[in-house]
A and B are shown apart, each in its own frame.
Chain A
Amino acid sequence: MIDLLLLQALLAATPILLAAVGEILTERSGVVNIGLEGLMLLGALAGPLFVDYLKYKVGAQVPDPLWPLLAILASAFVGIVVGLVHGYISTYLAGDQIISGVAINLFAAGAVAYGIQAYWGVAGYKQVPDWAKADPYVVATFALALAVFTWFLLFKTRLGIVIRACGEDPESAFNMGVDVNKVRLLATVAGSALAAVAGAYLSIAYLSVVTKEISAGRGFIALANVVFANWNPLLAIAGAYIFGFFDALSYWLQTMGVGRYEITRMVPYVATLLIVAGVMGRAKPPRALGKPFKRE
Chain B
Amino acid sequence: MQVSLKEIHKVFSDGTHALRGVSLDIYPGEVLALLGENGAGKTTLMKILAGIYKPTSGEIYIDGKKTKFKNAREALRLGIAMVHQHLSLIPGLTALENIAVLEGAGLGPISGEVRKRAEAIAAELGFEIDWDRDVEELPLGVRQRVEIVKALYWGADLLILDEPTTVLSPPEVKSLFQVVKNLKQKGKSIVYITHKIPEVLEVADRIAVLRRGLKVAEFKPPYDAKKLVEAMVGELKTESVERSGETGERPVLEVVDLWVYEGGRAVVQGVNLVVREREILAVVGVEGNGQEHLVEAVVGLRKYKGVVKIHGGYAYIPDDRHGKALVLEKTLVENAILGKEAEFSRRGLISWKDAERFTAKLVEEFGIVTPGPWAFVKQLSGGNQQKLVVGRELSRNAKLIVAHQPTRGLDVATTEYVQHLLLKARNNGAGVLLVTSDLDEAYKLADTIAVMYRGRIVAIGSVGEMTLDVVGKKMAGL
Interface residues of A (CB under 8 A from B): 153, 156-159, 161-162, 164-165, 167-169, 172-178, 183, 286-287, 296
> Does B73 contact A176, Cβ atoms closer than 8 Å?
yes
Closest to A169 in B: B90
A105 to chain B, nearest CB (A): 29
- The smallest C-beta distance from B376 to any residue of chain A, in angstroms, reads 14
In Å, the complex CA distance between A183 and B101 comes to 14
Chain B neighbourhood of A172, CB < 8 A: 88-90
B97: chain A residues at CB < 8 Å are: 161, 164
Which of B104-112, B166-174, B338-346 is the interface stretch? B104-112
In the bound complex, do residue B101 and residue A153 qualify as a contact, i.e. CB atoms below 8 Å apart?
no
Q: Are A177 and B92 in contact (CB under 8 A)?
A: no
Given A162-B101, A175-B52, A177-B71, A157 and B107 contact (CB-CB distance below 8 Å): yes
User: Is B438 an interface residue, CB under 8 A from the partner?
Assistant: no
Q: A186 CA to B13 CA in the complex, in Å?
A: 31
In angstroms, Cα B54 to Cα A296, docked, is: 9
Q: Which residues of A contact B290 (CB under 8 A)?
A: none
Q: CA separation between A153 and B104, bound complex, in Å? A: 14
Residues on the A chain within 8 Å of B93, using CB: 161, 164-165, 168
Within the complex, the shortest CB–CB distance from A152 to chain B, in Å, comes to 9
Chain A residues lying within 8 Å of B107, measured Cβ to Cβ, are: 153, 157-159
Complex Cα–Cα for A162 and B107 (A): 11
Of all chain A residues, the one with the shortest Cβ separation from B107 is: A157
Q: Which residues of B contact A161 (CB under 8 A)?
A: 93, 97, 100-101, 110
Summarize B's interface: helix, strand, loop or mixed: loop
**Residues of chain B lying within 8 A (CB to CB) of residue A162:** 101, 104-105
Question: Which residues from 350 to 379 on chain B have a C-beta closer than 8 Å to any C-beta of chain A?
Answer: none
Complex alpha-carbon distance, A169 and B134, angstroms:
14
Contact between chains at A177 and B90 (CB < 8 Å): no
Distance (whole angstroms) from the CB of B103 to the closest CB of chain A? 5
Q: Are A158 and B104 in contact (CB under 8 A)?
A: yes
Q: How far is the CA of A161 from the CA of B13 in the complex (A)?
A: 32
Nearest chain B CB to A291's CB is how many angstroms away?
11
The 3 closest A-B pairs by CB, nearest first: A177-B73, A175-B72, A168-B92
Please give, as numbers and ranges, the residues of chain A lying within 8 Å of B391 by CB-CB distance: none
A158 and B100 contact, CB distance less than 8 A: yes
**Closest CB-CB distance, B394 to chain A, in whole Å?**
33
Q: Can you name the residue of chain B whose Cβ is closest to the Cβ of A284?
A: B92
Decide if B104 touches A177 in the complex (CB within 8 Å): yes
* CB-based contact A156/B109 at 8 Å: yes
The distance from the CB of A174 to the nearest CB of chain B, in whole angstroms, is 6
How many Å lie between the Cα of A191 and that of B108 in the bound state? Answer: 21
Closest CB in chain A relative to B357 CB, distance in Å:
33
Nearest-CB distance from A286 to chain B (Å)? Answer: 7
Asked whether B108 lies within 8 Å of A158 as measured between CB atoms, the reply is yes
Question: Are B106 and A158 interface neighbours, CB within 8 A?
Answer: yes
B58-97 CB contacts (< 8 Å) to partner A: 71-74, 88-93, 97
Least CB distance from A21 to B in Å reads 17
A residues less than 8 Å from B13 (CB atoms): 296
Q: How far is the CB of B18 from chain A (nearest CB, A)?
A: 13
Docked Cα-Cα span, A63 to B74, in Å, equals 53
When the two chains form their complex, are residues B106 and A173 in contact, meaning their CB atoms are under 8 A apart? no
16 further contact pairs, Cβ within 8 A, besides A156-B109, A158-B104, A158-B107: A157-B106, A157-B109, A159-B105, A161-B97, A162-B104, A164-B97, A168-B90, A168-B91, A168-B92, A169-B90, A173-B90, A173-B101, A176-B73, A176-B101, A286-B92, A287-B91
Q: Are B73 and A159 in contact (CB under 8 A)?
A: no
Report Cα–Cα, A176/B82, bound state, in Å. Answer: 12
Residues of B within 8 A of A286 (CB): 92
- Per the bound structure, the CA–CA distance linking A169 and B135 in Å amounts to 13
Q: Which of A156, A165, A287, A296 is in CB contact (< 8 Å) with B101?
A: A165
Task: For the complex formed, measure the closest distance between the CB of A148 and the CB atoms of chain B, giving whole angstroms.
Answer: 15
List, sorted by A's number, 9 A–B pairs whose CB atoms are closer than 8 Å: A156-B110, A164-B93, A167-B92, A168-B90, A168-B93, A169-B88, A176-B73, A178-B105, A287-B91
A157 near B90: Cβ-Cβ < 8 Å: no
Q: Give the shortest distance, in Å, between B253 (CB) and chain A (any CB).
A: 32
